[in-house]
Amino acid sequence: MYIERFPKIEDKIEAGKVLVIYGARQVGKSSLVKNYIEKLKLNRSNEKQAFFNGEDVNVQAIFSSMNLKTLNEAVGDVSLVIIDEAQVVRNIGISLKLLVDTKPELKIIVTGSSSFELSGQIGEPLVGRMNIINLFPLWEKEVKDASLYDYITDLDFALRFGRYPAVFKEPVVEKKKEIVTNIVNGYLLRDILAFDRLKNSKLILDILKLLAYQIGNEVSIHEIATKLSINRASVSKYLDLLEQNFIIFPLRAWSKNMRNEIRKKEKYYFYDLGIRNSLIENFDALDVRNDIGALWENFLITERLKYNKYTDPYKSVYFWRKLSGAEVDFVEVYADHIDGYEFSFTEKKGNKSRFSWVESYKNATWMNIHRENYKDFVGG
């Protein structure tokens, strides 16, 4: 089962620059690169390639050396260098800079599953020398374009099991559950614990579970700290690590500093609902769940995030709420446009928040997104 991913490597790669592909483990980074190589073969490209696995200790020794002679001997006369899981290679940024500066004709692709490690290592050395792809779990359009979409079952499965490629491709429900659980325990948490020699996996899980039950609600760092008997600084640190490891992301409050608006608040959402549901051990069918509103909101925001990142990355996104309780689930701000969206699984005919929103922002738009009209919103 082949699924064309977005964005395409051929649109981002160029000689004299490093193409960095970020994303969680198992999201399809290696497959994206391998598919690109297959395309080169099909097009009978003469491009010579060298593939390195960053988790190999010998590869780590070479690309952490910062020694131009060692690097040149490893690369040889190839025109394309690929380093998979590059986040585990120390000093990778400096070594890549040496290669780019001395071999301007060289194309380089590196993949990384932990942006807090990889971006910290390559950001400064490669300023002006890199392009970036953020790869997420499968996007609605990717599924549709592969002619694999079934309106009823896929929406149901997306809200219950998420869209990691291996999960999506597995037709058996019980195996879907198993794959998602293995991703949580075997990959995502391992990366976080490996950073800064963290030991307390239970604490991380406890924070994630609290967030899983608070989708759509404003998150209080003080409340989390109190419930788990830790300090606020520790909570903030863990939230940052979880965000940079592609498990959660924040949505901040939109405000023009009006006195009656919420300003310094955040909500947190999961990049993949399968991960969220695994954390709370609930893969039940939609018709017996009491959290369908939260699932729908998370799904739409995540799919819209993919849509924006892949097609129009310059939009800023927020939520909006007044002290009176009027709220808009999702706000997009770009150029001179302000668009507000309310999410409901079934269509809402009237909404008080709509009138409060357009009264506060005269030139803003408002739209109710539900299961009958969501396709255009998520780019499907």
Tens of pLDDT, residue by residue over 261-315, are 777 789 999 999 999 999 999 999 999 999 999 999 999 999 999 999 998 888 9
369, part of any domain? no
Q: Are residues 151 and 211 in the same domain?
A: yes
The CA angle 200-203-205, to the nearest 5 degrees, is 110
Instruction: Name which residue leads in pLDDT, 60 or 144.
Output: 60
355, part of any domain? no
Look at residues 134, 163, 187 and tell me which one is the last residue of a structural domain: 134
357, part of any domain? no
Beta bridge partners of residue 18, listed in sequence order: 108, 130
Look at residues 265, 284, 311 and tell me which one is the last residue of a structural domain: 311
Q: Give the whole-angstrom CA distance, residue 284 versus residue 13.
A: 42
Q: Give the whole-angstrom CA distance, residue 88 versus residue 112.
A: 8
Q: Give the whole-angstrom CA distance, residue 60 versus residue 191.
A: 17
Q: Give the whole-angstrom CA distance, residue 54 versus residue 310.
A: 26
Q: Give the whole-angstrom CA distance, residue 342 versus residue 329.
A: 5
In tens, the pLDDT along 299-356 reads 999 999 999 999 888 899 999 999 888 899 999 999 889 999 999 999 987 677 898 9
pLDDT at 152 over 60: no
Q: Are residues 49 and 116 in the same domain?
A: yes
Contact 341, 367 (CB under 8 A): yes
Beta bridge partners of residue 107, listed in sequence order: 80
350, part of any domain? no
Strands 266-270 and 248-253: antiparallel
Kindly report the pTM of this predicted structure. Answer: 0.94
Find tokens 């592969």 and name the residue.
146
Q: Give the whole-angstrom CA distance, residue 80 versus residue 36.
A: 12
Q: Are residues 201 and 299 in the same domain?
A: yes
Q: Are residues 116 and 157 in the same domain?
A: no
Residue 115's pLDDT is what? 76
Tell me the mean pLDDT in the region 153-181.
94
Q: Are residues 300 and 282 in the same domain?
A: yes
Q: Are residues 292 and 183 in the same domain?
A: yes
Q: How far is CA 376 from CA 275, 303, 309, in A?
A: 25, 11, 16
- How confident is residue 191, by pLDDT bands cut at 50, 70 and 90? confident
The CA angle 152-300-11, to the nearest 5 degrees, is 100
Q: How far is CA 141 from CA 71, 183, 237, 275, 328, in A?
A: 40, 23, 34, 21, 25
The tokens describing 351, both together, are 């909404």
301 Cβ contact partners less than 8 Å away, ≥ 6 residues apart: 251, 269, 317, 329, 330, 343
Q: Give the whole-angstrom CA distance, residue 273 versus residue 369.
A: 19
Q: Are residues 148 and 111 in the same domain?
A: no
Strands 337-343 and 365-369: parallel
Q: Are residues 151 and 123 in the same domain?
A: no
- Give the CA diameter of the chain: 69
159, part of any domain? yes
Contact 54, 89 (CB under 8 A): yes
pLDDT at 68 over 80: yes
118, part of any domain? yes
322, part of any domain? no
Q: What is the CA radius of gyration of the chain?
A: 22
Find tokens 């490093």 and name the residue.
18
Q: Are residues 93 and 241 in the same domain?
A: no
275, part of any domain? yes
For 256, other C-beta atoms within 10 Å of its C-beta total 10
The tokens describing 144, both together, are 């549709």
Q: What is the mean pLDDT of the chain?
A: 91
SS3 state at 379:
coil
- How confident is residue 148, by pLDDT bands cut at 50, 70 and 90? low
Q: Are residues 219 and 306 in the same domain?
A: yes
Q: Are residues 83 and 231 in the same domain?
A: no
Task: Indicate which CATH number applies to the domain containing 269.
Answer: 1.10.10.10
pLDDT at 116 over 70: no
Closest to 133 measured CA to CA, from 7, 5, 316 = 7
Look at residues 80, 100, 134 and tell me which one is the last residue of a structural domain: 134
**Structural domains counted in the chain:** 2
Task: Indicate which CATH number applies to the domain containing 100.
Answer: 3.40.50.300
E strands present in 5-145? 18-22, 49-53, 80-84, 107-112, 130-134
106: containing domain? 9-134
Tell me the mean pLDDT in the region 46-65.
95
The CA angle 378-6-303, to the nearest 5 degrees, is 25
What is the enclosing helix (H) or strand (E) of 355?
helix 352-360
Residue 353's pLDDT is what? 86
Q: Are residues 98 and 26 in the same domain?
A: yes
